[in-house]
Amino acid sequence: MPKTRVVVVDDSALVRSLLTEIINRQPDMECIGAAADPLLAREMIRNLNPDVITLDVEMPRMDGIDFLSKLMRLRPMPVVMVSTLTERGAEVTLKALELGAIDFVAKPKIGVADGLRQLQDDITDKIRIASKARINRLHTPAPAPAGTPGGGAHHAAPGHAAPRPVSASLGRLSTEKIIFIGASTGGTEATKEVLITLPADSPAVVITQHMPPGFTRNYAARLDGLCKISVKEAVDGERILPGHAYIAPGGMHLSVERSGANYLARVQDGDPVNRHKPSVEVLFKSAARVVGPNAIGIMLTGMGADGATAMREMRDAGAYCVAQDEASCVVFGMPREAIAAGAVQEVLPLAKITGHLMDHLRATAGPALSRV
């Protein structure tokens, strides 16, 4: 089997050396070139035709974002960003994912050599996933409806219909239900596509997206500026309310529990589950146990099987569960496993998930509430 051919782009000679060493240690991949800046990388990519590139966020001569934007417009290919654990690094990394980067690795601010070596399994796993991921050209702006928060900021990939905002009020339909979303690789953008189409009185949404510490607060703030619902990083013990979305903090598990008539967020440390923290399995198990038939489950793009077993528990408890279809996924791992587990009632293109769920809510609410 041919090896995955990787070009490393980073202005640090130490990081270039370490990433080259880590990649070349793998039996299924090789580093075929290392460039100190995007201008050198451009020639290297043209001449060597790599399968994947790793790209530093901040570099001289042309920063990683400008280079990524040009690359995804002219020669789309799998890119894994190498970010820094800073406020600026988090913001730029989220922009890179929006532009089409498959995933990112957060290098430590100090002890870079030891830190990267400790992350070598994570780095090589993400390169493997990226080499198999679905790539789209740079997103082009899609017209936003008048009055939509963040109008003009939403993008739709060519070949994929832009999600249709759900504008009709749900009224009392939203007060008992909770929507649970699980996502991994490609999920930051897929989750955004779902949330920006929800009406302001949507049921509460609780989200586990595989992300490291230091990135979820910026991610939540970014979504909050685009959506009609309020989006925030979850806080332990807070009430889960309609019209709000709660994102698991990076490096912490998120679940729900009941206190009288209220649902509460539970944010806790603990061992990784299915190699992940936060884990979709933890969130979906609590949905099955605590929310039961009032839960709606959505499994979005991602590698692996995290959450598949728990989503089957959700369905067995009476929840309504859907999965993103293969054609609109960056990686069809988690949805495929949920489907194989018999956890899913519907498999839908990303652009149709929200509208379908809102129609389902109205159809199952009875004649009186469906007219609200």
- Span 186-224, pLDDT tens digits: 999 999 999 999 999 999 999 999 998 889 999 999 999
Residue 138 pLDDT greater than 50, yes or no = no
Residue 152 pLDDT greater than 80, yes or no = no
Residue 172's pLDDT band (cuts 50, 70, 90): low
For the residues 261-268, what does the mean pLDDT come to? Answer: 96
Q: What is the pLDDT of residue 303?
A: 95
Could you give the CA distance from residue 286 to residue 279 in angstroms, rounded to a whole number? 12
Hey, where are the domains in the chain?
Answer: 4-132, 160-370
Residue 169 pLDDT greater than 80, yes or no = no
Q: What is the mean pLDDT of the chain?
A: 88
Scan for tokens 């640090």, then name that residue.
Answer: 12
Ranking 126-135, 276-285, 330-339, 361-370 by mean pLDDT, the lowest is 361-370
Q: What is the pLDDT of residue 107?
A: 78
Choice among 210, 244, 253, 276 that is catalytic: 210
Q: What is the pLDDT of residue 173?
A: 58
65: left (phi over 0), alpha (psi -120 to 50) or beta: alpha
CATH number attached to the domain at 160-370:
3.40.50.180
Choice among 184, 202, 255, 286 that is catalytic: 184
Active-site residue flag, 306: yes
Residue 113: how many other CB atoms lie within 10 Å: 12
Residue 151's pLDDT band (cuts 50, 70, 90): very low
Choice among 10, 37, 306, 325 that is catalytic: 306
Residue 155's pLDDT band (cuts 50, 70, 90): very low
Same fold for the domain at 4-132 and the one at 160-370? Answer: yes
Closest CA to 160 of 356, 355, 353, 351: 351
Cβ neighbourhood burial of 235 (10 Å; 0-12, 13-18, 19+) = exposed
Residue 160 pLDDT greater than 60, yes or no = no
For the residues 70-79, what does the mean pLDDT come to? Answer: 94
Class at the top of the CATH hierarchy for domain 4-132: alpha beta
Active-site residue flag, 28: no
For the residues 333-357, what does the mean pLDDT come to? Answer: 97
SS3 197: coil
Residue 282's pLDDT band (cuts 50, 70, 90): very high
Q: What is the pLDDT of residue 118?
A: 82
Active-site residue flag, 210: yes
| Amino acid letter, 206 | V
Q: Are 56 and 84 in contact (CB under 8 A)?
A: no
For the residues 269-290, what does the mean pLDDT come to? Answer: 97
Residue 24 pLDDT greater than 50, yes or no = yes
Could you give the CA distance from residue 182 to residue 283 in angstroms, rounded to a whole number? 8
Q: What is the pLDDT of residue 322?
A: 98
Residue 146 pLDDT greater than 50, yes or no = no
